[in-house]
Structure 1
Amino acid sequence: MAKRYCYRDVLPFGAMVTMECINVGLNTLFKAATMRGMSYHVFVVYAYAVAAIVLLPMSLISQRSRVLPPLNFSILSKIGLLGLIGCSSQIMGYTGISFSSPTLSSAISNLVPAFTFLFAIMFRMEKVAFKSRTCQAKVLGTIVSIAGAFVVTLYKGPPIITVHSPSLSLHEPLKVINSVDRSWALGGLLLTAEYILVPLWYIVQVQIMKVYPDEVTVVFFYNLSVSIMSAVVGLFTEPNASAWKIRPDTALASILCSGIFGSFLNNTVHTWALRIKGAVYVAMFKPLSIAIAVAMGVMFLGDTLYLGSLIGATIISIGFYTVMWGKASEEMEEEVGVGNLQESPTAENVPLLQSYKNERAEKKMHGNV
């Protein structure tokens, strides 16, 4: 019992918290690399290629050690669709970060639970009864989260914390900050588009894991397809050959770390958690990244904390936890209903059966007398 609780509750929780910390760190490292001139299109190609290379031997071992259904055209086509969603999401996300900051990315990532709930309704994975209090909470929380995202995206506001780090002098910080000011709204819109695609990725991944429950193999083919698709896009967006040459500096460190800890480890853990706990559980950890991103952005990148980000993130968090409260209450009601159904035979049917047997025994005794 304790082992099952650890595997299904403690381990997924710890893994998801760790992945959020890693994701924010990878976004911060990516931002530092792009400030030195690295192309985000090239970055996506190389990072996912590194992950595919690392996963190749593990995928072969996993397929030989487990009894799995054959990889038919249907499963591969679903993985291809997953790769298309992931490729589009990553390109939009990294472009948005390069125009804005990891802090803004983490703030808007709070939209993922709300969008996951909306798509779950569309794909009939969630039941909707508007007279129910739990349903009203989920709908209200979704609307509040979307409103908060618009505040973060469209309202920057005055600076609250401004850090001037001497280590950023090599990156021309004033020029970068001015560029971020002009591109803040565009970066926010691109990041919002990314986090609309992420719930779709969750839903498609859940469907794949139902028919092919092998995380390593699925993530290998996913990373391979994203690397190929992004390479095709990169050939048009980055025709200059010099952009594809990676120097042994921050750019190389960002690619290797993102390939190993992001595209490989993060996608594998998320796929495993989706199979164990479902899409809504995975989505609920996104708000954690706000505090981590703000701290790392201020400490390592010299990011400025703006009032709009703080207000919008607060609104998003309120909406998110309203959705989660509604979801938790709904699951509790379902568990209580199932428990009552299971208890009813022992509480009512068994005594009735016993009384029926006693009555028959008494009649038999009187008959014999």
Structure 2
Amino acid sequence: MNMQSSAPYAAMVLVQLSYGGSNILMKIALEKGLNQLVFVVYRHIIAMILLAPFAFVIERKQRPPLSLSVMIKIFVLSSLGTTIHLNVYYAGLAYTSPTVASALSNVIPSLTFIMAVLLGMEKVKTESPRGWSKMLGTAICVSGSLVFTFWKGGYLFKSFENRPLINIYSTKGSSGEYRHAKENWIKGAALILTSHVAWSAWLILQAVVYKVYPARLSLTTLICFFASIQSSFLALCFARTPAIWKLDWNVQLLTIIYCVRASEITI
């Protein structure tokens, strides 16, 4: 395998590593008092400011005009893939661990496949091995996610759960075991799975929108723009305390900066 053919695989590994790091940092920041609504607002405002100059310069000639229909589609795209997905996802992350959050992301391809089949965008050929492998893989992924959601037994690596390497956000219970401050496994996993449904719908709609607006950087900038407006509206309703909007040189600010960079990698 040469360097050119292996580049996409290396990029996929880099993306997964960035997601894993963002889950860990976000969990720490949430336990340190970072409000998820405020985080989403700051993340997309900063991302929009960083991306806008590149989009303007690079895609100045190839950017198609914006019609009302396209803007509505981008607005819905922002609602699914950012406003709904991220806020519900981080609400679930507050109740569970970064390990579970990362593991549950494996259900996204299966959910996307199921939605595409239901919408008639993809057909399953039951007479071919490829079709059977898709159905089998989907069943395994969905079943595994359900096991993660409703499992009530012990943990496979219990020693790591009792004594985590990063103990910033853990508290010690009466039994002497380390527990997450707001741990609620079922609620957290259910919220994360719900967010992945919105993310899968975003993936499908993104393919539709890209056909009518094939300017990748400009599209991402517009998504960040609408997401910042939507999240700001939610924050004004549910995060009115001025103190939670204050940014200091701490793990909360590091998390915002890191997640902005991680989102740029995945573009």
Structures share fold, TM-score greater than 0.5: yes
State the one-letter code of the partner of 2:123: K
Are the equivalent residues in 1 in contact too, given 2:95–2:182 (CA < 8 A)?
Answer: yes
Change (3 A) 1:195 1:166: closer
| Correspondence for 1:213 | 214
- Distance across 2 between alignment mates of 1:93 and 1:124: 28
- How many angstroms apart in 1 are the aligned matches of 2:192 and 2:165? 29
**Distance in 2 between residues matched to 1:129 and 1:63, nearest whole Å:** 39
Other structure's SS at 2:179 match? helix
Which residues of 2 match residues 191-202 of structure 1 at below 5 A? 191-202=192-203
Alignment of 1:38 onto 2:38: no
Match of 1:353 in 2: none
Q: Report what 1:243 is aligned to.
A: 244
For the 8 Å contact 1:34–1:98, the answer to whether it is kept is yes
Deviation at 1:124, TM superposition (A): 2.1
> How many angstroms apart in 2 are the aligned matches of 1:68 and 1:37?
41
- Structure number with greater Rg is 1
Q: Does 1:77 align with 2:78?
A: no
Number of the residue aligned with 2:171? 173
* Alignment gaps of 5+ in structure 2: none
**Following TM superposition, by how much is the alpha carbon of 1:139 offset from its aligned partner in structure 2, in angstroms?**
2.0
Paired position in structure 1 for 2:231:
230
- Find 1:23's aligned residue among 8, 19, 22: 19
TM-score (norm. length: structure 2): 0.88
Shift of 1:216: 0.7
- Cα–Cα, structure 1 residues 94 and 82, in superposed 2: closer, same or farther, change >3 Å? same
Find the counterpart in structure 1 of residue 54 from structure 2: 58
**Aligned residue runs from structure 1 range 1-369, under 5 A:** 6=4, 9-64=5-60, 66-86=61-81, 87-159=83-155, 160-163=157-160, 164=163, 168=167, 171-174=169-172, 177-181=179-183, 183-262=184-263, 264-266=264-266, 268=267
Stretch of structure 1 that moved more, 94-103 or 208-217: 208-217
Report how far residue 53 of structure 1 moved. 0.8
* Range 203-212 or range 213-222, more displaced: 203-212
Identity, in percent, stands at: 28
Task: Give the match's secondary structure for 1:67.
Answer: coil
In 2, Cα distance between the equivalents of 1:131 and 1:21?
Answer: 37
Q: How many residues align?
A: 258
How far is the alpha carbon of 1:207 from its aligned partner?
1.4
Contact 2:44-2:224 within 8 A present in 1 as well: yes
> Does the 8 Å CA contact 1:97/1:187 hold for their aligned counterparts?
yes
For 2:170 and 2:112, the matched residues in 1 are separated by: 39
Residue type at the aligned position of 2:67: N
Q: CA deviation at 1:245?
A: 1.3
Give the secondary-structure state (helix, strand or coil) at the position aligned to 2:41. Answer: helix
Please list the CA deviations of residues 167-219 of structure 1 after superposition, one character each: whole Å capped at 9, or x if unmatched: 63x645326825444x1110000000111111211111111222222211000
Which letter does structure 2 place at the counterpart of 1:232? F
Distance in 2, Cα, partners of 1:211 & 1:247: 42
For residues 239 and 212 of structure 1, the distance between their equivalents in structure 2, rounded to whole angstroms, comes to 36
Higher relative contact order (CA 8 A, sep 6+): 2
SS of 1:177's equivalent?
Answer: strand
Q: Distance in 1 between matches of 2:55 and 2:130?
A: 42
Secondary structure of 2:59's aligned partner: helix
Gaps of 5+ in 1: 269-369
For 2:265, give the aligned amino acid.
Answer: L
List per-residue Cα deviations over 1:339-362 (Å, max 9, x = no partner). Answer: xxxxxxxxxxxxxxxxxxxxxxxx
For 1:222, the aligned partner's letter is I
Contact 1:114/1:146 (8 A) holds in 2: yes
Change in CA separation of 1:259 and 1:125 when aligned onto 2, cut-off 3 Å = same
Q: Which has the higher helix share?
A: 1
Q: Distance in 2 between matches of 1:234 and 1:77?
A: 22
Instruction: Please give the TM-score of this superposition, normalised by the length of structure 1.
Output: 0.65
